Structure 1
Amino acid sequence: MPSLNVSFTDDELEGVRAAAAAEGKSLKQYLHDLGVREMQRKQFVAGATRWADRLRDEFDQAFPDEVPPTQRDNGAAAA
């Protein structure tokens, strides 16, 4: 099975070890799961974005008075 060597500063490694211990996992298992979760998160976000893009026109027609927060006068503060 392929493996990977990853370099950390002493402080970074201490933090990663603490995070692994908090989840009750070995450092190896924690780092493996972290990478897999990030890959799955990106796939989920991409799928959700495609889904929202497909429905955007239908939503805009159903709710013509709704203005996306980024297009409001006060921008992100409206969100």
Structure 2
Amino acid sequence: MPSLNVSFTDEELEGVRAAAAAEGKSLKQYLHDLGVREMQRSQFVAGARQWADRLRGEFDDAFPDEVPPTERPGGAAAA
């Protein structure tokens, strides 16, 4: 099975060890799970964006008075 060496500063490693211990996991398992969760999160976000893009026209037709936050006066902060 492939493996990976990862470098941390002493402070970073202390924090990562504490996070692993808080989840009741070994450092190796914690870092493995963290990488897998991030990959899954990225896939979920990409899928959600594709889903939203497919439905955007239908939403715009159903709610013609709804203006996206980026197009409102003041930009996204106006939302």
- Quickly name the TM-score band, shorter chain normalised: over 0.9
Structure 2 unaligned spans of 5+: none
Runs of 4+ deviating beyond 2 Å: none
Structure 1 unaligned spans of 5+: none
Q: Distance in 2 between matches of 1:76 and 1:66?
A: 14
Q: Identity rate of aligned residues, in percent?
A: 89
Q: Distance in 2 between matches of 1:65 and 1:76?
A: 17
> Residue type of the partner of 1:33?
D
How does the TM-score come out when normalised to structure 1? 0.96
Q: Distance in 1 between matches of 2:53 and 2:62?
A: 15
> Residue type of the partner of 1:64?
P
For these two proteins, the number of residue pairs brought into alignment is: 79
Q: Distance in 2 between matches of 1:45 and 1:37?
A: 12
| Cα RMSD, aligned residues only | 0.7
Q: Distance in 2 between matches of 1:27 and 1:34?
A: 10
